Structure formats: structure tokens, C-alpha cells
Chains A and B, each alone.
Chain A
Amino acid sequence: MSESLIKVENLTLQFKTDEGLITAVDDVSFEIAPGEVMGLVGESGSGKSVTAKSLMKLNPGNAVYSPESKITLSTDGRDIEVLSLNTASDLKVVRGGAISMIFQEPMASFAPAITIGDHMVEQLLLHTDLNKKGAADLSVEMLERVGISEAGKRFNQYAFELSGGMRQRAMIAMALSTKPKLLIADEPTTALDVTIQAQVLELMKELVAEFGMGIIFITHDLGVVAQTVDKVAVMYLGRLVEQGPVREVLHHPAHPYTQGLMDALPKLEDLDAPLTPVAGDIPSPLERPNGCVFHTRCPKYIAGRCDAAEPKPFGVFTDHNVSCFVAEDQGARVA
């Protein structure tokens, strides 16, 4: 058994559509250790959510995984090859069992005609040996644990009766009640106000410490990344262009795309800094550029090189890898 909780190797995923095969994820590799929080950042359409959903094989039927793709989940002393699981009953070990997911819009994730409590009990009956009474007790306890007051009353309420922050807490309580090994949080605080966001982030940090699970935190907010994750991976057009420890990547971004994202971000520390957008638009997934996928928008683009070959991950510092020829030419950073 390997030390990592989940290991993704050479994940490539294409969608069959009427207009042809669309590459959504292209040769992505990363791993997460138990208790580690990884941030996955990138613009809309960069493939962050699709990558995360692959871990549970949750993508729609027209998704085609390349033969080299491999996802290994190590739990309870055994390794599970997620992509080789096919039936829904086999996948139960992963979906909601070892891995839980929190979605962006909590209103859309709860069925409007089913109470919060029934949602929570249903999944506990599916994934644990608890009986109905035990599941209900645990659910109320979890609701209390995430800071929902009058948990017993909330248990019998519907999603629309809860405020946005409370709904997201209930979602977290539900995701954690099955004691998952890995939690996928897809933009969990994007729809929330900053003061509520601060509360939810605080709560998630406490819960990681308590339950020791790994988290994949999908977000486009680099401020949230800075405050919550241990390591960060940056995606662009399905490619993982840079990954490393959070301090490394935010203090010394090595890929021109990561640098571009930082320059476009309004910073409170420096109000005079101009906001510089990344030039151009993200290309259509049907017209993926050759070579480095970012070369069409890259300010440091080297003609004849960046559009000819795909850069391989290059170590610029301990655990900090960048797929870029320019960064490669500059060589590793000396501490």
C-alpha cells in the first residue's frame, strides 16, 4: 500500500460530442496524503471539476478515459483502482463511501421536497451499518458539530427554510457524517458572503484537524487558497501547468499563467497596482493549441519551441513543478 491517500497518474479524459472528441483533462498527475489539503485552481473551463469528479467516476456516460489513466485510492489497507470499477454497486465504496463531495450551490444540492434530516439519514443507511435511529442521532450530532443551532429542529426542516450559510454547513455535516477519507469541495464558499465564508473556512480547517481526511479544494479565489490549503495545483485547458506547496507557488509563481492570474487579481496590500488581464481569450476546447496549451496567450512565448512541443513538468524547487520551457531555461531556484 502506498503512502498517499489518492494517487492520480496520467489522467486523460475526453468527451464524445457531436462536434468530435473534446479533451477536458490532459495527462494530469497528482497525489494527496491523508490530512493534506490540495487547492485546485483555474478559470472556468479549465477542467478542475471534471478532474475532481473523475476521482469518483462521476462524469457523464460520454466521458472516455485514456488507457494510461490510473487513479488509485488507498484506504483501509487496500488499493482500489477507481477507473476499473464499473457498476454502481462497486462504485459505492468510493462514491459517498471513501469520498464525499460538497457542491458550490447548496440550494441545488438538496432536493426541495425532502427534509435535511431525510437526506442525511438516507446516505448513512446506504454507507454505514447504522439503523434509522442511530443514523438520525448521528445526523443531529453532526449538525451540532458544524455549528448549527437548534439542530433537532433543523433536522426536520427543508433546504429553503435555511439561510445560505446554514445550508452550506448542513451540506458539510452531511458530507462528513459518513467519515470519508477524502472530501472534494467544489467552490464551497463562492456563493457565500465574506463573513460567512470566513466561518465556513474556519470550520473546514477544524474538521480536517479532527478527522484527518484529505481535501481537494476547487476554487478560483487565490485568497481562499492562500488561507486554507497546503499545496496548490493550477490548471489551464485541462493541463496541470504548475503545482507545489502553497507558499512556494504564491510567493514564487513560475508559470506565466499563474503569474498572469496573480497580476489580474485585485490586491488589498497594493491598491495602486494596475489590474492586468491575461491577454486574449481562453481557446475553444475544440481548437486546442499545439505544444504548450498556453502559448497563444503567453507573454513569454518562444516561437518554434512553445508551439512545437509540450513542456514536461520541471522541478523549480522542492516539490514545486512547472510545465514551461521558459521556466525550465531559467533553471531551478536557489533557496
Chain B
Amino acid sequence: MSDHPLISTEDLSVSFPLGKSLFGPQQYIHAVAKITLQIPRGSFFGLVGESGSGKTTFGRALLKAVPISNGHVEYNDDEVDYNLEHLTKAELKDYRKRAQLIFQDPYAALSPRMTVRDIIAEPLELMELTSSREETDEKVREIAAKCRLNLEHLRRFPHAFSGGQRQRISIARALVSTPKFVVADESVAALDVSIQADVLNLLKELQRELGLTYLFISHDLSVVAHVCDQVAVMYLGRLVETAPTRELFAGPKHPYTRALLSAIPSLDPDHVSKAQKLEGEIPSPASPPPGCKFHTRCPFAIDICKTDEPVQEHVTESHTISCHRWKELDYSDAAE
């Protein structure tokens, strides 16, 4: 395995124009701002944050499903090396095959009028990856078997299936074009715990078998802790901290990461979290506060946080943080 990452972004920004105003300059929502991040090949890369933090937009930008406003994204799988902000038509078509998305809601993602076979075969037909119907059927059966779908069920319609089975159908559809990079956006959020465990195990298995790299977007930190090997935390379009999973969960450095982790309800009724609770809510991305975006809710904010945006620093080679005060903050009293 070569050592360069599959995806690397540099100052990636995505902005959407707000409704036009007659006077004054055009307003923008900066959904994703200046994100520099590497996704190593073969990793199960977690991306967490509250609603409105820009995690979905970031995932879509990597898929080239939303326009990239600024910065660079490089995709390199040793066969091809693309700069996502300048793709030719042919390259984009090829990239669609290499990068795929698994949706959140398996009830909304599948057309009720198509059979399971047609749903899974559609990407092959649209991308013209197969030359005959027999070849398509062959590929559909192959991926369906890998996703533990009953081949008898291929002729049925999605309404006949439970949530877990539907999610397996969505996964089969995403993987049928043999992608290298898969964005799983809240792919287990709508499922019951037992089915969630089943789908997570399947994703892991497929990763080993097919050599996939995942960007796993989730708001459920315990799920992320279990399946991901690296985690990035986003807040209001910014990357606040990224680290190997265990390092992050054992010793979060950013006050936001700490607050996020302490908000997870513990399974032990006698364990009452001592860490600070966050007041208030995430500000609107249309009018983000100046300086560090988190300072309005941060218990450690000082004057510099209100005016200057922190730059990304390295704690270790694989652990980055954006906080003015990370070196001086000591959480040892709250960590017991």
C-alpha cells in the first residue's frame, strides 16, 4: 500500500448564495470553510458534528455533488489522480464510478416502482458499465450476494422489505459500480440497534473484501467510536479537531469535542457525567460569529477567540486541532 492518502483536501470551501438583495453585496452561506484533511486509503473515516455543522455538504463536495467554491481536493487511487475542482467531462464520468454515496433513509432512497434487481442495476446501465443484460444480471447477483441479500428477492419491490434489508439494497446499489471511495451519510441513523449492528458489520466486511475507503458521516458518537479508525469533528463549517479514534475519545483536546463526548448518555445509570454541558445552540451558518466559531458557547473563551480565527495546528502527526488555547487547557480535574 502506498502512503499517500486517497483523498486530500486543502482549504476546501463550499458556499451557497443566499437570496438576492437589491442593495449591497451578494450574501453567502459558508457551509464548509477552509477544510484541510487527509483520508487515508482503506480507512473508515468518521465525520461528526451537530446538524448544521456542514458535514453532509463536505461529503457531497468530495463526491463532486455540490460545486467547490475554493481550495483543492485531490483524489488518488494509483490508477487515476484527479483534481476535483478541474475535472473534464470524461473524468467526471469516471469519478462517478469510483466514488459513491449511501443514503440515510432506506425508505426514501429506493423507488417503489422498481424491482430490487432494477434498482441495483440502474447505476450499471446509466454509466454503461456492462454491455449485455446477462452481464448486468451477473454483476447484480454478485453484489447482492456480497450484501447478504436473498437472490430470490431480486424480483420483488422494495415495499416488501424491512428497514435493514432496504439498507442492504441501498448498499448493493452504491457498490455495484465497484467504487473505491464511499460516503455513508447517516447510513444507520434510521435503523434499530440490532439492525444497525448488522449493517455496520456488513460495511466492515465489505470494506475488507472490496478494499473500500469510507467517509462515515454520523451524529452518533458511540457508533463512530466503534467502527471508525479516524474521526474528524466539524462545527459550523470548520474542522475543529481530527485524530485517530482512540486518541480522540481518550483525550479530546478541543473544548467542543469534549462537550460533545460528555453529552453522550452513559449506559450506566450511576454514571453521571461531570463534564460541562453546553449552553445554547449552534449559531446560524448565515450569520456566523467572528473569530473562533465556537466562542459563543465555549466556557474557556477569552478575548482573542472573539476576534481571531484559530489556525489548524498539529498535536501529533495525525492529530490536528483548531483552538487558541488547546495547549494551556487542562481537563484532568474533569476527567475522572
Contacts and interface: CB of A to CB of B under 8 A. Distances in A.
Contact of B278 (A164, A195, A246, A268): A195
A16 interface: no
B193 A265 contact: yes
B222 to A, nearest CB: 4
A123 B2 CA distance: 66
B281 to A, nearest CB: 5
B196 to A, nearest CB: 7
A250 B268 CA distance: 8
B278 A220 contact: no
A106 interface: no
Contacts of A224: 265
Contacts of B165: 281
A298 interface: no
A145 interface: no
A223 B266 contact: yes
Interface string A269-312: 10100011110011000000000000000000000000000000
A195 B278 CA distance: 6
B194 A250 contact: no
Contacts of A264: 193-194, 196-197
B183 interface: no
Interface stretch (B26-34, B256-264, B326-334): B256-264
A201 B198 contact: no
Nearest to B272: A227
Most buried by A among B50, B163, B193, B246: B193
Contacts of B162: 281-282
B301 interface: no
Nearest to B192: A43
Interface in A221-247: 221-224, 226-228, 246-247
Contact of B269 (A44, A198, A246, A265): A246
A35 to B, nearest CB: 17
Nearest to B265: A223
Contact of B249 (A196, A221, A223, A268): A268
B219 A201 contact: no
Interface string B160-175: 0011110000000000
A220 B265 contact: no
Contact of B281 (A166, A220, A261): A166
Nearest to A165: B281
Given A163-B281, A250-B268, A271-B246, A44 B163 contact: yes
Interface in B198-235: 198, 200-201, 219-223, 225-227
A277 B219 contact: no
Contacts of B226: 266, 271, 275
Contacts of A165: 281
Contacts of B201: 275, 277
Contacts of B266: 223, 226-227, 268
B267 A226 contact: yes
Nearest to B297: A195
B282 to A, nearest CB: 8
Given A43-B194, A250-B269, A195 B263 contact: yes
B163 A226 contact: no
A84 interface: no
A266 B228 CA distance: 12
A282 B191 CA distance: 13
Contacts of B281: 163, 165-166, 196
A197 interface: yes
Given A44-B192, A268-B249, A194 B263 contact: yes
A203 to B, nearest CB: 11
B270 interface: yes
A135 to B, nearest CB: 28
A44 B223 CA distance: 19
A132 interface: no
A182 to B, nearest CB: 22
B200 A275 contact: yes
A202 interface: yes
Contacts of A222: 193, 267
Given A193-B219, A195-B50, A266-B222, A226 B263 contact: no
B37 interface: no
Interface in B131-176: 162-165
A315 interface: no
Interface of B: 50-51, 162-165, 192-198, 200-201, 219-223, 225-227, 245-246, 249, 259-260, 263-270, 272, 277-279, 281-282
6 contacts: A43-B193, A223-B265, A226-B266, A266-B222, A276-B197, A278-B194
Interface of A: 43-44, 163-166, 193-199, 201-202, 220-224, 226-228, 246-247, 250, 260-261, 263-269, 271, 275-278, 281-282
